[in-house]
Structure 1
Amino acid sequence: MKLLRAVVNFDSARLLSVDFASGTALIQGSIMYNIPENNVLDWENIHRNDLVLQQVMAHPNRPLSFHSPTLFAAPQHAIMRDYANRYDHQNGLVMVLHDRDTGFSDGLSFYRACDEAHFGRYEQRLIRAVMPHLQEALKLNRQLAIPSASVPAQGALLIAQIDGNIQHCEQQASGLMQTEWSDWRGARLPAALITALSAPGSTGYAGKRIVVTCSRINTLLFLRIMPRSPLTRLTQRELEVACLYGKGHPTKAIAAQLGISPVTVRNLLQNSYLKLDVHDKATLANLIGGRLS
């Protein structure tokens, strides 16, 4: 953004990757310059009223300059005037490109706070020239991130209203949700998850493939989603034996420690191998190590 600002005079800027597949805007990634992070949620809440979005989506690959007080002058657009004033978006320049590989729409926006500082044809030509290269850079960054795209230790983030309407969903969170509910498309939380989170004293959800923890701030639910460990398929005794065996203890020592026979230890290990679909001690040790780390 700083490099772009050297050739385009703007006060703030935003680069969003948005998924419109569900009929609503789900932001998959954002880069902000001089814009508060809560802008993402604010825009998602009002995007259906955004005339700028409607115009650029109707004419992708075409830059659009706009003057907010003029564009949103009609009484029915008061919510957009308030939004533009709150973030000092008096003048804007926007361009959207669709990415066939990801299915997302990538949009670059420049804003100026001064009412008279309109964006002209020079800036439009510039954003048209820059945007394809910027989108290609985003794609390369996503590809480079794939080898290390493990879910963060605290879980992938999804933000929803208490009624289940989703406000923000990270790409990893979306992928994890679809492992649990294959037909889920992302506009609302699945009914089973809403029911679980609505139960008195609930702090989350444990499914077949994911675990969800939940914290609430006013009317928003902040969900952290993690893949469920395959070790949950084991009984408590199978888990005890697998942990000791994975850490290198021989079967006779495990039997002595747990007060069971070596034959029982071997049977429990065989059951664990079948349930976890592993075939050697090294793979089992890796699973155990992930649990203990």
Structure 2
Amino acid sequence: MVQSLAPALLEDVDLRARAVETYDLGETTVFACKGDPRFSYCLYIPRRSDPAEALDLVVAMHGTGRAFIEYRDAFAAFGRWNNCVILCPLFPVGVRGDDNRDGFKYIVEGDIRYDEVLLAMVEEVGARYGLDVERFALFGYSGGGHFTHRFLMLHPDRLWAASIGAPGSVTLLDRERDWWVGIRNVRERFGIELDMAAMREVPVQMIVGAADLETWEITHREGGRHYMPGANDAGRTRPERLDSLRRSFEAAGIEVRFDLLPNVPHDGRKVVPHVEAFFADVLKARRSSRQLLAAE
């Protein structure tokens, strides 16, 4: 009886291995988040000849258009040649049935904490692939740039780098104004105090096109879902608002690499090579430091 089952069992093992190779490695399929299946993600997983080789994690956060697979594909070559896993979440429009496009940008939407959803995805990916995900890099463009700089404020201890791309609105490190314009009530809203010392340890890039000048989507108007006093005070255009964020960070002692790209409009694909260069520089220093510690 056992002998008669052996070929079938071997075939089943072979099919499972083939499915893993097809759907779980390289450019993966889309996975529902086990922590909250309303949200999902895709990955790029480098195929390694040495399974013991350490991989670092890079998260690329989509904007309002939800082009999460496009960002995965854009960063795939970087992941392959730099031994990085690329994680691209999907936070859909209207999760609460109200057609809200913007909830994830401000971290909180009703009972949803998008920072915690991302961390659940990160831990899930770490467990699935055997990765050290204590720290990861985070890039976000447009709506993703909203999310990235606010996530950095709340969880600097989880990041080895942050690249903030062309957010339409910014949260300044202003203790005279409430969230989301400022940070005065962060403790009441999130139950934490901002750790400025930890933020100073995270390499930060801010990146925007010099031709990214349209304002129709980023001008807050009274009565709007996210309007509050001071909503437009950081500037009129995305470059102006990102520069206000830069000055706010630098006033708090946080170093910023500010990339203003000539002739670039609001197009996330055009900034990816510059983000990759930034991450590569940080990775080189990070890995050199790890090697020195391992040698001691």
User: When the two structures are superposed, what TM-score results if normalisation uses the length of structure 2?
Assistant: 0.25
> Who wins on radius of gyration, i.e. which is larger?
1
Q: How high is the TM-score relative to the length of structure 1?
A: 0.25
Structure holding more strand per residue: 1
